[in-house]
């Protein structure tokens, strides 16, 4: 894109400071500092396009069609009816032009989320910035360097019959075989009667970053089945997110499936997140992680439930859990629960032939929590303890420290 030169002497352009993107989670404003004020004209921005209030989807697509890689399509504040496909082009940026998010409204699709399906041919290198999406889901397939930032996702419509086990295609963003995708500083909402997921970092994806987002407000926008699913291929980062489920929703077990749910991973870091609202039982847990390797769960803060670690028979190609660090997390439960679900728990399913290996649980703070390491179904403490694995220096309710025979331990209090 051609460089845009601003003459501050001539234009007298002022920098505008805008409010936090997390203020008023039900509003359509997710703001950040804008160099361009409240409006932008085509004539002032070389190499740019402009979506003006009142444009139809066909007109929006025509504006995109004129753009080239590196160009920015500025979108004015307003509500735009989206009843079909956005026809993106590689390397362009779709960005709000002022301080107020424009709204792309797909609620006319009244039986489910309206899907936008993209591949490398039309979305590689694209950025979506400062747009509010109502009832839209984005499927990103085999594309690199796709970014969503400062966006709002709301009013997703739940498909009849979908829940935690049936028809799982209800995330606002689903990444499949992507590389270097980023979802940052976005706000995700799920409302009563229309529960679902937030982001699914799916199979084959590498080097994904899901960072500094907000999922729900613990009330009207907190009806999440799962906030983030991850079964990516390698090197994913989930960091700095605030995830607040409505605890009253826990009475619907069919729509309860962990705050972050990860499996079949290789190189996953979950750090500095705040998660609240999932129950301390088999359907809940702030984090459930199973069948994978090179996992770090670090410096998170969890309320109402903790961390569940498993090996399941399926998927058979990942029938192990190895090189795991669970360190320096804070877990605050509403009551003394104990056992597998009362803080940090590990269990392997009957019939599993793979091994746990090098699992370190250290420095976690859970004043009324438990650590439970099950010795059943072929568990090997020697494998668990490899390369410094064991249970060390955790602050917990000591009567609830339950470790399989032979697990290395010290300094727990």
**Does the bond joining 315 to the residue before it have cis omega, within 30 degrees of 0?**
yes
Name the β-bridge partners of 287: 260, 307
Query: Domain 8-410, what fold?
Result: Pectate Lyase C-like (2.160.20)
26, 83, 42, 6 alpha-carbon torsion, rounded to 10°? 30
pLDDT at 24: 39
Residue-wise pLDDT tens digits, 327-381: 999 999 999 999 999 999 999 999 999 999 999 999 999 999 999 999 999 999 9
How far apart are the C-alpha atoms of 173 and 139, rounded to whole Å? 6
Q: Please answer whether residues 254 and 283 qualify as being in contact, where contact means their C-beta atoms are separated by less than 8 angstroms.
A: no
Residue-wise pLDDT tens digits, 133-170: 999 999 999 999 999 999 999 999 999 999 999 999 99
Q: Please answer whether residues 142 and 120 qualify as being in contact, where contact means their C-beta atoms are separated by less than 8 angstroms.
A: yes
pLDDT at 39: 40
Tell me what percent of the residues of the chain surpass a pLDDT of 90.
88
More confident site: 33 or 84 = 84
pLDDT band at 47 (very low <50, low <70, confident <90, very high): low
How far does CA 261 lie from the centroid of its chain? Answer: 10
How far apart are the C-alpha atoms of 313 and 108, rounded to whole Å? 42
Q: Over the range 272-301, which residues count as b (16 or more CB within 10 Å of their CB) and which as e? A: ebbbbbbbbbebbbbbbbbbbbbbbbbebb
Q: Does residue 33 carry a pLDDT above 90?
A: no
Q: How many alpha carbons lie under 13 Å from residue 138 in its C-beta half-sphere?
A: 32
Please state, as a whole number, how many other Cβ atoms lie within 10 Å of the Cβ of residue 160. Answer: 8
**Ranges assigned E (strand) in 354-400:** 356-362, 370-373, 390-392
How far apart are the C-alpha atoms of 234 and 401, rounded to whole Å? 33
Nearest residue to 185 (alpha-carbon basis) of 224, 241, 103, 223: 241
**How large is the average pLDDT for residues 235-258?**
98
Q: Does residue 231 carry a pLDDT above 60?
A: yes
pLDDT band at 48 (very low <50, low <70, confident <90, very high): confident
Contacts of the segment 62-66: beta carbons below 8 A, 24+ positions apart: 64/88, 64/89, 64/92, 64/94, 65/89
Tell me what percent of the residues of the chain surpass a pLDDT of 70.
89
**How large is the average pLDDT for residues 281-300?**
98
Q: Does residue 21 carry a pLDDT above 80?
A: no
Residue-averaged pLDDT of the chain = 91
pLDDT at 18: 39
Q: Does residue 5 carry a pLDDT above 80?
A: no
How far apart are the C-alpha atoms of 147 and 138, rounded to whole Å? 12
Domain boundaries, the chain: 8-410
Please state, as a whole number, how many other Cβ atoms lie within 10 Å of the Cβ of residue 65. Answer: 10
How far apart are the C-alpha atoms of 341 and 381, rounded to whole Å? 21
Rg, C-alpha atoms of the chain:
23
Residues whose CB falls within 8 Å of the CB of residue 74, separated by 6 or more in sequence, listed in order: 36, 40, 45, 48, 49, 50, 51, 95, 96, 97
Model-level pTM?
0.90
Q: N- to C-terminal Cα distance for the chain? A: 59
Scanning 176-280, the segments in alpha helix (DSSP H) are none
């Amino acid at each position: 894109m051609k460089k845009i030169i601003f003459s501050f002497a001539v234009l007298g352009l002022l920098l505008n400071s805008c409010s936090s993107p997390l203020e008023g989670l039900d509003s359509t404003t997710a703001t950040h500092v804008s160099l361009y004020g409240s409006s932008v004209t085509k004539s002032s921005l070389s190499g740019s396009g402009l979506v003006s209030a009142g444009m139809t989807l066909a007109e929006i697509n025509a504006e995109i069609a004129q753009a080239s890689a590196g160009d920015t399509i500025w979108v004015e504040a307003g509500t735009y009816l989206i009843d079909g496909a956005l026809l993106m082009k590689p390397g362009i940026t779709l960005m709000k032009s002022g301080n107020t998010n424009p709204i792309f409204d797909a609620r006319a699709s009244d039986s489910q989320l309206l899907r936008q399906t993209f591949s490398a041919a039309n979305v590689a290198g694209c950025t979506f910035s400062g747009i509010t999406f109502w009832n839209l889901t984005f499927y990103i397939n085999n594309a690199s360097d796709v970014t969503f930032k400062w966006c709002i996702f709301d009013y997703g419509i739940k498909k009849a019959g979908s829940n935690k086990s049936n028809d799982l295609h209800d995330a606002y963003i689903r990444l499949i075989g992507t590389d270097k995708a980023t979802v940052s500083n976005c706000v995700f909402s799920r409302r009563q009667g229309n529960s679902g997921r937030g982001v699914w970092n799916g199979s084959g994806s590498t080097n994904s970053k899901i960072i500094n987002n907000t999922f729900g407000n613990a009330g009207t926008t907190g009806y999440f089945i799962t906030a983030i699913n991850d079964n990516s291929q390698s090197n994913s980062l989930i960091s700095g997110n605030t995830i607040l489920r409505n605890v009253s929703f826990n009475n619907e077990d069919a729509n309860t499936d962990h705050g972050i749910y990860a499996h079949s991973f290789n190189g996953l870091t979950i750090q500095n997140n705040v998660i609240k609202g999932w129950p301390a039982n088999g359907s809940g847990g702030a984090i459930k992680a199973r069948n994978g390797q090179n996992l770090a769960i670090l410096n998170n803060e969890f309320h109402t439930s903790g961390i569940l670690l498993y090996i399941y028979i399926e998927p058979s190609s990942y029938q192990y859990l190895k090189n795991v660090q669970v360190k320096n997390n804070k877990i605050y439960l509403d009551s003394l629960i104990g056992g597998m679900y009362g803080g940090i728990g590990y269990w392997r399913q009957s019939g599993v032939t793979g091994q746990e290996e090098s699992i370190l649980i250290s420095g976690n703070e859970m004043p009324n929590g438990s650590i439970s390491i099950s010795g059943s179904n072929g568990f090997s403490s020697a494998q668990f303890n490899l390369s410094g694995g064991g249970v060390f220096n955790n602050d917990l309710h000591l009567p609830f420290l339950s470790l399989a025979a032979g697990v290395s331990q010290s300094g727990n209090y």
